[in-house]
Amino acid sequence: MDKLQIHGGVPLEGEVRISGAKNATLPIVAGALLADGPVAVSNVPHLQDVTSMIELLGRMGVSVTIDEKMRIEIDPATIRDCTAPYELVKTMRASILVLGPLLARFGQADVSLPGGCAIGARPVNIHVAGLQAMGADIFIEGGYIRARASRLRGARLVLETVTVTGTENLLMAAVLADGQTIIENAAREPEVVDLANFLIAMGAKIQGAGTDRIVVEGVGRLSGTHYEVLPDRIEAGTYLVAGAITGGRVRVKHVRPDHLDAVIVKLEEAGAQVGVGDGWIEVDMRGRRPRAVDIRTAPYPAFPTDMQAQFAALDTIASGVGTITETIFENRFMHMLEMRRMGAEIRLEGNTAIIRGVDHLTAAPVMATDLRASASLVLAGLVAEGRTDIERIYHIDRGYEAIEEKLALLGARIRRVPN
Ligand code: EPU
């Protein structure tokens, strides 16, 4: 297994192009199952999770081709088995996103329950209850969700918690249902909006995506289309923090600045100068030490849970005391324990981490435990004195395309080495 080796202490300088969004690509690729004809998707990031989703469709018999520019073509016509097997679902929870499309388009879906997760319990009860309200017969057997419906019926769904993939699954089910579906308390994340725009390009009738009330008029069929995935706001935010934490100047290109409002506010609070233009954001820390910031995660448009760990890294070397409160997932602080091993002063009180900034971190061997936790360890490594070795970096390859190459272009001393 590879590891990342980082020699910290270099202020990052330069520009980095941001890839397509992982969390938009996954539902869009799953949503291609709804089409009558071939679907082409471009600006797809080269990531392990995307490969896993493609492999899942391939196992079902769906034809998927990829060209050298990571443009994917998906033709659902060849499907022969509506099953998402355990051995694939256990490697990627987002496999649950095939449940809604399979049921809506083919009348059946057998999807393994995802099980435990490194960041929290992450149940899928809201996905299941919504489909049942739309008339699906669902039972759990042998660890699988077995769902059947000759045609789903439109319904008013009031989601008990804001859930991103839950909203996406129900939206994909509703577009081919008979009649009107209203999703109340819907997730407003840009990735939900991107999925809705993709479905609209296929002929779906959707209003209100991006608000907490999505209204869908079911249609009889959806056609193939070509769609370009939106830029990854979390990848962009991670590189901006990399600029800030190292006292450098980093510009992220090919981004949607409006999707990063909550992150930009916190970078400014930390003392960075932030410039925004058409498709780019630049953070300039001018060699200064960041000021500690307080973060509270919540559904979009509030501060994203997927950026919490990166700001925790920033707080470890900031002046003052910062707090990080995680309200979405119950166990998303594993990175805090690893950063303590690098000299960070962090106290945990329930779902809040209290971080007293230290003058410097010292390098140590650390272990990645989930995707965003790994990103925060890379950031800590970029400022630590000495050589940080990060193990289990398969987590980072799930969500950051060529991270060591992009950071090296900004001047970081980082390399991937076999363990
Ligand atoms: N929840 C339920 N029941 C459900 C569904 C969710 O109780 O049926 C709870 C969860 O346990 C959690 C909360 O609702 O406490 C919100 O979870 P959500 O369902 O929104 O998370 P998700 O859809 O499983 C997506 C992203 C995550 C991101 C979260 C929150 C994808 C593929 N994944 O997960 O991304 O953290 O939304 O924004 O879109 C990542 O990229 O590193 C990542 C974990």
What are the tens digits of pLDDT across the range 225-243? 999 999 999 999 999 999 9
d(CA 27, CA 164): 10
Residue in this structure with the two tokens 């390009």, named with its chain if needed: 201
* Structure-token match 């962090």, residue found: 346
pTM over 0.95: yes
pLDDT digits (tens, 9 = 90+) for 199-230: 999 999 999 999 999 999 999 999 999 999 99
What pLDDT is stored for residue 116 in this prediction?
64
Q: Are 384 and 10 in contact (CB under 8 A)?
A: no
In this structure, the residue with its CA closest to atom 31 of ligand 1 is 23
Q: What share of the chain is helix, strand, coil (3-state, %, to 5)?
A: 35, 30, 35
- Asked if 155 and 181 touch (Cβ cutoff 8 Å), the reply is yes
Model confidence pLDDT, tens digit, residues 23-76: 999 999 999 999 999 999 999 999 999 999 999 999 999 999 999 888 999 999
Burial label for 353, CB within 10 Å (0-12, 13-18, 19+), is buried
Cα–Cα distance between 156 and 133 in angstroms, integer? 8
Dihedral of CA atoms 388, 391, 394, 399 in degrees, nearest 10, equals -30
What is the average pLDDT across 18-23? 98
pLDDT, mean of residues 127-156: 96
Residue 205, CA distances (Å) to 28, 31, 124, 133, 214 in order: 16, 15, 26, 20, 11
Structure tokens at 160: 């008990």
Q: At what angle do helices 99-106 and 164-174 cross, to 10 degrees?
A: 10
CB 209 within 8 A of CB 164: no
> Where are the alpha helices (H) located in 246-370, listed in sequence order?
261-269, 308-316, 334-340
Question: Quick one: DSSP state of residue 278?
Answer: T
Q: Structure tokens of 309? A: 């760990």
User: Which stretches does DSSP call E strand in 21-125?
Assistant: 39-42, 63-66, 72-75, 83-84, 108-112
Q: d(Cα 360, Cα 369) in Å, to the nearest integer?
A: 23
- Which one of the listed residues 46, 77, 116, 117 is annotated catalytic? 117
Q: How many residues does the chain have?
A: 419
Average pLDDT over residues 123-152: 96
The answer, yes or no, to whether any atom of ligand 1 lies below 6 A from the CB of 399, is yes
Q: Which tens digits make up the pLDDT trace of 348-386?
A: 999 999 999 999 999 999 998 899 999 999 999 999 999
Q: Is 251 in the pocket of ligand 1 (CB under 6 A)?
A: no
**CB 127 near ligand 1, within 6 Å:** yes
Query: Atom 7 of ligand 1 has which residue's CA nearest to it?
Result: 123
Average pLDDT, the chain: 96
Residue 117 annotated to the active site: yes
Asked whether the predicted pLDDT for residue 121 surpasses 90, the reply is: no
Amino acid identity of 266? K
**CA gap 396, 48 in Å, rounded:** 9
- Give which of 267, 265, 294 is closest to 353, Cα–Cα: 294
Q: Using a 6 Å cutoff on CB, does residue 188 contact ligand 1?
A: no
